[in-house]
Structure 1
Amino acid sequence: MTGSTPQTLKPNRPPSMDVHRLEVTHVDQDAYTVDVRGHRLQVDQPTEAGGTDTAPTPTELFAASLATCVAFYAGRYLHRHGLPRAGLRVRTEFVMATDRPARVASLRLVIVPPPELPEQRRAALLAVASHCTVHNTLRRPPEIDIELEP
């Protein structure tokens, strides 16, 4: 899309809904830049997959998106209840499917709460963090339209 007039995507949605936009642009070989609200991210592939390993893969960013969303919700829960967020971490691992189509087969996230978290708050922290926006989206997948610009 570089050098052309940006096209407005028209997904099947009511006209009153907010539309969030980002753009992905080819950089070199398997590297791409993602522009989001003035922030710039890069993705690439590992060298063994033909890339130059200058950045995470899109699949790694997918897992990171879930992990950071869980961490954000956990952090907001702690903040709302006057509990410290220092030391909060989310460890994540994922496994790729061995059959087709190519996809993530499983993800495991482990929330490491701050050491001062009272025992009686642990279950609530897990419940709140498990309902982050990205996790909810995976549970109820959105409609996805992939189109080719004319």
Structure 2
Amino acid sequence: MTVIKKEQGKVGIYNNAGFQVEGSFSANLDGLNPKELFEASLGLCITIVLNRMLERDGVEVQDDDISIEVNAIKASDSPSRFEQCNVNISLPQHFSQEYKNKLVVSAERACTIGNTLRRGLQIQTEIVEK
């Protein structure tokens, strides 16, 4: 579970371990705005899947060998939503093209966030008493 609340004039994002990251109402400022968090969620999910696959395959990589860049593009019509996510995955050059393709296909299949976005989900909102 994630909790978002404002304290001391700042929006905080918390989990059961406590404060994790500052939220922001605008892009490219201190903290992350909703679009950046959305992109980060997809990118982190793909990163986790890739790392698990590399561990399974016994492939060691340096920390900076793999990077994921996600750019969510807003729809021009209503309702306000993202209509596309462009994901760029940078993998080590010494990996064969066949292995790179295998990693990407497997990551697409195993990423929970990606699967959710592709298939949609129901959102239930309710008011609760404090």
TM-score range, shorter chain: 0.7 to 0.9
1:84 CA drift (Å): 2.3
The residue type paired with residue 114 of structure 1 is P
Deviation of residue 24 (structure 1)?
Answer: 1.3
Instruction: Give me the whole-angstrom Cα distance separating, in 2, the residues matched to 1:149 and 1:63.
Output: 29
| Aligned residue number for residue 54 of structure 2 | 78
The 8 Å contact of residues 35 and 72 in structure 2, kept in 1 or not, is answered as no
* TM-score using structure 2 length: 0.83
Q: How many residues are paired up?
A: 125
Give the secondary structure class of the aligned counterpart of 2:13.
Answer: strand
Once the two structures are superposed, the pairs formed by residues 127-142 of structure 1 within 5 Å of their partners are: 127-131=105-109, 132-142=111-121
Aligned partner of 1:22 in structure 2 is 2
Tell me which residue corresponds to 1:42: 22
State how far apart, in whole Å, the 2-side matches of 1:107 and 1:123 are.
19
| 2:62 matches 1:114 | no
Partner SS for 2:32: coil
The one-character-per-residue Cα deviations of 1:44-67 (angstroms, maximum 9, x if unpaired) are 1228xxxxx331101210111001
Please give the root-mean-square deviation of Cα atoms over the aligned residues, in Å. 2.1
Report the Cα distance in structure 1 between the residues aligned to 2:39 and 2:15, rounded to whole angstroms.
Answer: 18
**Cα distance change, pair 84–118 in 1 and its aligned pair in 2 (3 A):** farther
Q: Offset of 1:28 from its aligned partner?
A: 6.1
Residue aligned with 1:106, SS: strand
Counterpart of 2:39 (choices 55, 63, 66) is: 63
Identity %: 23
Query: Structure 1 unaligned runs (5+)?
Result: 1-20, 48-52
> Runs of at least 4 residues of structure 1 off by over 3 A?
none
* Corresponding residue for residue 128 of structure 2: 149
Distance 1:99 1:85 in 2: 43
Residue 115 and residue 88 in structure 1: after superposition, are their counterparts in 2 closer, same or farther (change >3 A)?
A: same
CA contact (8 A) 1:84 1:114 kept: no
Larger radius of gyration: 1
Superposition TM-score, scaled by structure 1 size: 0.73
